[in-house]
Amino acid sequence: MMRLNKFLAKAGVLARRKCDHYIFSGMVFVNGKKIDDPSYKIDEKKDEVFLNNKRIVLKEKYRYIVLNKPKGCVTTLKDEKGRKKVIDYVNVKERLFPIGRLDVNTTGVLLLTNDGEIAYRLSHPKYQIDKIYNVILDKQISGKDIQKLRKGVIIGKDEVVSAEAKIIENKYKKNMVRIKIHTGKKRQIKRMFNTIRYNVLELDRTEFAGIKKDELKLGSWRNLTKDEVETLRKLVI
C-alpha cells in the first residue's frame, strides 16, 4: 500500500507538494471515486488512478539530469511572460521537472528529473541539502562581515540564517565570496548580503547535493552517472 501523493510523485506527475495541490483540488480519482486526501492509501498494483481523466501508472525508469542554467530563463514549467524555461534547454522524451528553483538571473547547477519522490525529498528543508554558490559583490567584503554571515544574520521577520562563507581570490572577478547554505529560502543569499549592506551582482550555483557542473557550458546538460544517483538516494532515503 502507498499514499496517494507518493504514488503520483513516483509516477513522475510532479513533485509531491504539487501532487497534494491536485488532490486537494478534486482532480484525482481512484477506481472512479474522487479522492481529496493526499494520505489516502492505494494498492499501486491493483487500483486505477486518474488525474484529469488520464490514467496514471508508475514509471519503471527514471531520468536524472544536471543543467548548467544560464541567465534569463525561469525554472517553472510554464511562464505567463513567455520567458525561456530551463526545460527548453533539455531535449529529451521524458517529462522532467526541476528539483527546487533558481532565480531567473542566477546561473549554475540545476537538477531535473521525473522522479517525484527524490525531487520532493531533495527540496525539503528537513534533509539540509548542501548548496554552494560563488557570489560577486558590488564591493570587497570585510573579514568582519564574513564572520557575521557565519554566525547568522536576520532576514525577514526576526528570521536568523547562517552560512559557511569565505573570500575567494580571483584575478578576473574581484569581490568574490563562496557561500554554502543548507536551506533554500526565497532569494536567501541576496537578502543575507543586503542585510550587511552589500549588493549581489552575480550569483552562480556551483554545487547541489554534491553534484557539480564541472566543464558544462551555460545551457548545456548531462545525465547523472549511476554513482551520482546513488549518492543522491543515500542523502534522502
| Contact (Cβ atoms closer than 8 angstroms) between residue 135 and residue 200 | yes
| Amino acid at the residue 102 | L
Q: 52 with 46: CB under 8 angstroms?
A: no
Residue corresponding to grid cell 542566477? 106
| CB within 8 Å of 123: residues ≥ 6 apart | 15, 17, 99, 100, 184
- At position 127, the amino acid (one-letter code) is Y
Contact in structure between 216 and 66 (CB atoms under 8 Å)? yes
| 3-state SS class at 130 | coil
**Cβ neighbours of residue 25 under 8 Å, at least 6 residues apart?**
36
Q: Name the H helices within 32-168.
A: 116-123, 143-151
Q: What grid cell was written down for 116?
A: 517525484
Choosing from 37, 79, 103, 130, the catalytic residue is 103
Contacts of 127 (CB under 8 A, 6+ apart): 121, 235, 236
Three cell numbers written together for 235: 542523502
Instruction: List C-alpha distances in Å: 48 to 5, 6, 7, 24, 25.
Output: 14, 15, 11, 18, 19
Whether 227 is catalytic is: no
Active site residues: 103
